[in-house]
Amino acid sequence: MTQLSYKSANELAKMVLDKEISSSELLEYFIKRVESYNPSINAIIVKNYDEARKQARELDEKLLKGEILGALHGVPMTVKESYGVKNTPTTYGRPDLKDNIVKEDALSIQRLKNSGAVIFGKTNVPFNLADFQSYNDIYGTTNNPWNLAKVPGGSSGGSAAALAAGLTGYETGSDIGGSIRNPAHYCGVFGHKPTWGLLPPRGHALPGSLAQSDLTVIGPLGRSAKDLETGVLIMGGPDEIQSAGLKMDLQKSEKKDLKEYKIAAWVNDDIAPVNQEVQNRVLKVAKTISDAGGEVNFEARPDFDMLKAMDTYQSLLLPTMASRTSHDEYNLLKEKLSKLDPNDTSESAYTLRKQTSSLRDYNNANNDRTHLRWKWHEFFKKYDALITPVMATEAFDHNHLNYGERTIMVDNDERPYFEQVFWAGIAIASYLPSTVIPTGLTKEGLPIGIQIIGPEYGDLKTIGLAKLLEKEGYNFIPPSNYPD
């Protein structure tokens, strides 16, 4: 029998509704685990116990009266630190925002609470949500539950680590460069990067920010594929300002068996090589589909130049990330640009030019991106999904060197650290949904995930394929060193 702490959010909700356990009892159970195991992992860095206990009691009282709020009724959960939760800090890991206490819940938090979720804490992030690992000067470093010397991913690293260690029932993160997907991959849980705009992010923001930034999405992480579907349906749909004319009506996958699928598989690429172990996992998933009678094409790609597409992504990503910086930090970037040799073609010079690019440059990149979106639209008329790696390797050792000094060893090849954003960018640049599933452990005992990319607004279709693959054994495996 699955240990209580490793059950999916949907299983926990059913236990509450069936009165096998009360919401209050379940909350205390997770709090006890947090107090026991979190000190070594440092995933949950803000505790909201008193408010959560009050909410759990109210939910238990409602259930006794036959009132059920929604799909997550009574499920204790944590959320990424960057979400606004009333009376808690939202800092993005920035020391200058350590006293930023939020006065109201983000829209997605309101929706989660309205569905019955009990939010009892917040999970760690990197500085400005901009890294493949999760550490900052306010809350310290989060460790991977599978091996504390390894990173849990970022920027939703605390989210995935808390789920993997069984410290929470459910989680939600955000993604602009793989920030839901690489933590899910490194920690062995499920994660979903939604279609851009499908889940309105109002309240997941720095102080004063109200507009949704380009590329950025919010989305769920869980211990089952069904948990991802639940999160999309709860948090998705138009914000109030759009609600008079829009509604969410996502198509579900009509396919009931893997033999019905026509899949493209992208195993590796010279632009951003991945190690043999990761390649093998993509091949393994592809074989599972083909063995079931499905069709897998290893050569199929959308009709555009991928190097140019990645340049378009960077032309959107880097100025968007730079917009999060303070006035002084941005002026420093412009000062560096003024001193840059026009003939400097280094990676750092490329990054600096993109960070400080003009609105004209951005609009041109947006036009290029829109061409890419239509190319993908045509591609997904022929293929149900594309499966690819998430990152180049399994979780790596903590590395707090300056960004420019970091590298990643891919088998025996030393590669640039941020080269790995290539695999995340395939989906992000063109607003595509992407679902990460676990594929098991390496010989060293570290998880590896792969991503399932689908057409815009095909979120329930990529999750639907994930659900079928979960039945074939691509499921969450709990670490053994966090018993009850």
In a domain, 258, yes or no: no
Secondary structure letter of residue 100 according to DSSP:
-
Share of the chain residues as helix, strand and coil, in percent rounded to the nearest 5: 40, 15, 45
355 and 421: one domain? no
**In angstroms, rounded to a whole number, what is the distance separating the alpha carbons of residues 401 and 21?**
46
68 and 199: one domain? yes
82 and 50: one domain? yes
Q: Is the dihedral of CA 124, 127, 132, 135 positive or negative?
A: negative
396 and 354: one domain? no
119 and 56: one domain? yes
Q: What is the CATH number of the domain that holds 237?
A: 3.90.1300.10
Last residue of a domain, one of 336, 366, 396: 366
Q: Is the dihedral of CA 336, 339, 342, 348 positive or negative?
A: negative
416 and 341: one domain? no
Q: What is the pLDDT of residue 102?
A: 98
Residues pairing with 434 in the sheet: 193, 453
Q: Which of 304, 289, 298 is nearest to 267 (CA)?
A: 298
40 and 74: one domain? yes
Q: What is the pLDDT of residue 180?
A: 98
Q: What is the pLDDT of residue 463?
A: 98
Q: Which of 473, 481, 450 is nearest to 165 (CA)?
A: 481
In a domain, 16, yes or no: yes
How many residues does the structure list for the chain? 484
Helix axis angle, 49-64 relative to 9-17, nearest 10°? 50
Residue 67 has which token pair? 């009132």
Secondary structure letter of residue 194 according to DSSP:
P
Residue appearing with tokens 């408010």: 51
- CB burial of residue 442 (10 Å; 0-12, 13-18, 19+): middle
Residue appearing with tokens 């690019």: 357
Q: What is the pLDDT of residue 130?
A: 96
**In angstroms, rounded to a whole number, what is the distance separating the alpha carbons of residues 92 and 125?**
7
User: What is the full per-residue pLDDT of the chain (484 aa) written as tens digits?
Assistant: 689 999 999 999 999 999 999 999 999 999 999 999 999 999 999 999 999 999 999 999 999 999 999 999 999 999 999 999 999 999 999 999 999 999 999 999 999 999 999 999 999 999 999 999 999 999 999 999 999 999 999 999 999 999 999 999 999 999 999 999 999 999 999 999 999 999 999 999 999 999 999 999 999 999 999 999 999 999 999 999 999 999 999 999 999 999 999 999 999 999 999 999 999 999 999 999 999 999 999 999 999 999 999 999 999 999 999 999 989 999 999 999 999 999 999 999 999 999 999 999 999 999 999 999 999 999 999 999 999 999 999 999 999 999 989 999 999 999 999 999 999 999 999 999 999 999 999 999 999 999 999 999 999 999 999 999 999 999 999 999 999 9
Per the confidence metrics, is the pTM higher than 0.75?
yes
Q: What is the pLDDT of residue 458?
A: 98
In a domain, 337, yes or no: yes
The amino acid present at 171, given as its one-letter code, is E
Q: Which of 243, 238, 236 is nearest to 218 (CA)?
A: 236
In a domain, 14, yes or no: yes
Q: Number of folded domains in the chain?
A: 2
For 45, the domain range is: 4-243+388-471
Strands in 125-166 per DSSP E: 135-136, 140-141
90 and 121: one domain? yes
Secondary structure letter of residue 411 according to DSSP:
T
> What is the spatial order of strands in the sheet that 171-175 belongs to?
171-175, 217-222, 190-193, 434-441, 447-453, 385-389, 262-265, 295-297
In a domain, 28, yes or no: yes
78 and 202: one domain? yes
362 and 408: one domain? no
Q: What is the pLDDT of residue 11?
A: 98
In a domain, 478, yes or no: no
Which are the catalytic amino acids?
A: 80, 155, 179
In a domain, 413, yes or no: yes
The answer to whether the beta carbons of residues 170 and 117 sit under 8 Å apart is yes
Q: Which of 31, 47, 53, 22 is nearest to 166 (CA)?
A: 31
Buried (b) or exposed (e) across 314-330, using 16+ Cβ within 10 A? bbbbbbbbbebbeeeee
Q: What is the pLDDT of residue 311?
A: 97
Q: What are phi and psi of 174, to 5 degrees?
A: -150, 165
392 and 331: one domain? no
Q: What is the pLDDT of residue 332?
A: 96
404 and 359: one domain? no
In a domain, 295, yes or no: no
Q: What is the pLDDT of residue 8?
A: 98
Buried (b) or exposed (e) across 1-14, using 16+ Cβ within 10 A? eeebbbbbbbbbbe
